[in-house]
Structure 1
Amino acid sequence: MGIYGSLAQQPGVVRVLVSQLLARFPFGMLSIILLLHIQLAYGDFTSAGIVLAAQSVGQAVSGPLSSRFMGRFGMRRVLTLTSIVCAALLVTIALVHLPLPIVAGIAVLIGLTTPPVTPAVRTLYPKLVPNTQLSALFSLDAAAQELIWVFGPVVAVFVSSQFGTTAGLCVAAGFMLVGGAWFILSPAVGAVKLPPSRRGFGAVLRYPTVVIATVVGFFFVASMAAVEAGVVAAFAGDGHGGSGGHGSMESGIVLALFAGGSLVGGLLIGHREMRPWSLLLRITLVLAGMLACVVSLNIWWLSIVLFIGGLGTAPAFAALSNIVASTVKFSETAEAYGWVGMGQLMGVAAGSAFAGVAIDAFGARGAILVAAAMLAAAALCAASTMRWIPDLKGRTIEVPPETGTVTIPLA
């Protein structure tokens, strides 16, 4: 664990890590707050689903676009503008009752103006620490982000239940502005200049590793969304989405332990040297825990097996970051992480949708089987693309140079 103490001693690392977590914290809150707010405002969950879907579409589109804009206009300008506009749109939905189509349009804009904090910070990391510590930093980041998904929903439910969903949306906007300002004003953000990409939009997808990280991330995150829906359904009274007394508390405990396993795994495993088969091994660990869930939906059994499965979650995310960082030129890393993020957002939507159908048809176990199928697809992708995944044993993560060598024929 001494590697993490060494990271903390690097100038700017702690501030960047903590401030970006605070800036991203609203996205652990927004889904549930928007769901509750729109349902209360319009009287049905269908309207809430339309608004959440609209936000997801906008956010998926914005990922690679806003990341590319950072290379053209600078990180601080893009992050500042998107943070202010996105927070203002959230407050608008909170305070003004508008027709549903207009609210859905605003939700699209919220997605489009989502601050690209994640691609920004993962682009910064190679400039903050020596190459020998980069893998550990990616691992720490992947582990720490679990705090967003453990505490975000808790804060969302507490504020919304005690003070109303209007206050909840305003609190989320406040986190976005305060955390965003702290991150944006970090000396590291001002010091690092992201050169504009010399190639056209989407050209970064010519890197096999970017496609691998995007596709594997899609299936992996889809499985996370599906198992979350399955766990909630398992404790919702009848297992088919009905209401039940302490269901939300029990499901919250299980999902918190799942995230806790990810946090522990990220700290213990994620920093280890990555081999071509490391991604597959970490996904397989999560898959084993997921398949074990089918045996019983007892709270203690689910808590244990998902904690064990969670040990591979953050390390898998860290591996995806390592794959991109070690193979993509610095000027293209922000856009690359934007595409990877888009794949994960699409995974959330797909996993939730398939899980919902499976719950209606087969109960909570149906959603867990969907999650296992998604993880199996992720494992298959990782296994079939091993030859493109870099072997970092005995090596440090080095960003490829902006210019390559040119072979000059002698005859």
Structure 2
Amino acid sequence: MRPCRTVMEPSNHVYVRLACMTSSSYPMVSVLRTRHTGYLLFTSLLGRLPGAMAALAIVQLVHSTSGDFAFAGLITAVYVVAGAVGQPLLSRLIDRIGQVAVLAVSGILSFLAFTGMALTLDPAPGAAVALAAAAGIFTPPLEPALRALWPRLVSPGPQLKAAFSLDAGAQEIIFILGPLLTVAGIAVFGPVGNLLFAGGLGLIGALAFILNPAPQAASRQRRGDVAAHNGIRSPILNPAVARVAAFTFGIGVPVGALTIVATASEAARADAGLAGWILAVNAVGALIGATVVGIRPLGSTPERLLTLCGILLAVGYLPLAVTALPTWAYVVAAGISGLMLPPTLGQVFERISQLSPPAALTEANGWVVSAMTLGVGAGTLVAGVIVGASGTSAVMWIVLLAFALTALLSLIALPSRSFPAR
């Protein structure tokens, strides 16, 4: 499991020394070479694709049937909020009975709910809303499940930091591929079949994930330690974990607002396709940020770095308030705004792993996932309301408000206000 180990044969000492130097110099490479990590990361991303596909898939399906955008917004919001509720609940269940059973059952139920939603949306929209809620609630908690496994799979220190940064950066791939797969799915399967396609990818990813020995071993350990879990309260009741969750909500706000900012900027400049470029370049910036900290992890502790990273992330969005920038410069600014997201999320994941006992680590990560989801949703909702009321000229104020809220919530993660992990 560790990046290097002592080998007794003298003839191998040069090779071992070089291997250790390579691992310590390039922690991300070491993480990817560690047994199980590449497979778990890939299958986790596959299973999480519906989260990046569902919103657009649902809107397109509603548009192809009733054309009611208000209803499309309602059913999408129900799905997102239900997912935010379900993640910590299912994660708590994983901490009690293990990953295999929870991920398998939730994956099947979520797929069935996606199927029912697609088939009932036109004849029975009320039932479709209920099924959208079920699809969200039963979304397999693959994000928290994987993050609970990282401390088991890799060594503490730079390698674990690199693993969390790699995880955070890999999410950007989901949000690049998700819309593309949705467009392809509609072209191949139609709006109804596309929703089944999205749900099917989630089910395949979840089932493939639990076929790996690491989740199975974690599940066996959980079943053997049921008595030890009974006295553990929810980690969100730990003030330190609650503060990290609030901090994570704050960094989600500008991420959500960016969708509206990009769309409004496209309309204001009458430049078709600009919104897509803004969002794509922002994702590229995030991938660059993830790669940099994956190769050279930040040296200090997450307790000390959280506030700094959060404020730098907020500052990175400020250039987008200068709406008079030339189009090319505005797109570059969008890339800069994405740089700090993976490093910041990496610190969040590492801090949560420090604050939570192993028996509650999946649930703690589930709360963080929900906080980020709600932050993104709040940013999108509020920004949309502001643009709807004031027009595209409100972009500057949206960016400034998102900056202020993110910077303010970053302050609650200051070390002087933290609490002990136990």
Relative to the length of structure 1, the TM-score reads: 0.87
**Deviation larger for 76-85 or 261-270:** 261-270
Check if 1:99 corresponds to 2:131: no
Name which of 208, 211, 220 aligns with 1:182. 208
Name which of 317, 327, 337 aligns with 1:290. 317
Which amino acid in 2 is paired with 1:156?
T
Shift in CA distance, 199/64, structure 1 to aligned 2, threshold 3 Å:
farther
Shift in CA distance, 24/108, structure 1 to aligned 2, threshold 3 Å:
same
Post-superposition CA distance 1:270-298 (Å, at most 9, x none): 62224444223323333233111121364
Check if 1:74 corresponds to 2:98: yes
Give the drift of 1:380. Answer: 2.2
Check if 1:335 corresponds to 2:360: no
Structure 1 Cα separation of the partners of residues 66 and 332 of structure 2: 39
Give the drift of 1:94. Answer: 2.1
Check if 1:135 corresponds to 2:161: yes
Which amino acid in 2 is paired with 1:230?
V
Check if 1:222 corresponds to 2:253: yes
SS at match of 1:145: helix
- Alignment map for 1:370-385 (pairs within 5 Å): 370-385=398-413
SS at match of 2:298: coil
The alignment-based identity, stated in percent, is 28
Post-superposition CA distance 1:185-210 (Å, at most 9, x none): 11111012345533465x31232331
Give the drift of 1:155. Answer: 1.6
Structure 1 Cα separation of the partners of residues 399 and 126 of structure 2: 32
Which amino acid in 2 is paired with 1:216?
F
Question: Quick check: 1:258–1:306 contact (8 Å CA) kept in 2?
Answer: yes
Name which of 169, 194, 197 aligns with 2:195. 169
Shift in CA distance, 141/298, structure 1 to aligned 2, threshold 3 Å:
same
Post-superposition CA distance 1:89-129 (Å, at most 9, x none): 11222234332221111111111111111111111111011
Structure 2 alignment gaps of length 5 or more: 1-24
Name which of 272, 281, 291 aligns with 1:257. 281
Structure 2 Cα separation of the partners of residues 373 and 125 of structure 1: 35
Structure 1 Cα separation of the partners of residues 131 and 39 of structure 2: 32
Shift in CA distance, 321/299, structure 1 to aligned 2, threshold 3 Å:
same
Check if 1:90 corresponds to 2:117: no
SS at match of 2:168: helix
RMSD: 2.3
Give the drift of 1:390. Answer: 7.8
Name which of 102, 127, 137 aligns with 1:112. 137
- Alignment map for 1:296-315 (pairs within 5 Å): 296=323, 298-315=326-343
Give the drift of 1:40. Answer: 2.1
Question: Quick check: 1:225–1:348 contact (8 Å CA) kept in 2?
Answer: yes
Give the drift of 1:371. Answer: 4.2
Match of 1:63 in 2: 87
Match of 1:205 in 2: 236
Give the drift of 1:314. Answer: 0.8
Which amino acid in 2 is paired with 1:158?
A
Structure 2 Cα separation of the partners of residues 290 and 363 of structure 1: 20
Structure 1 Cα separation of the partners of residues 304 and 330 of structure 2: 28
Name which of 349, 359, 364 aligns with 1:321. 349
Match of 1:281 in 2: 308
Question: Quick check: 1:277–1:383 contact (8 Å CA) kept in 2?
Answer: no
Q: How many residues align?
A: 386
Check if 1:386 corresponds to 2:414: yes
Give the drift of 1:56. Answer: 2.0
Structure 1 Cα separation of the partners of residues 102 and 399 of structure 2: 35
Which amino acid in 2 is paired with 1:224?
V
Structure 1 Cα separation of the partners of residues 143 and 396 of structure 2: 28
Structure 1 Cα separation of the partners of residues 44 and 399 of structure 2: 29
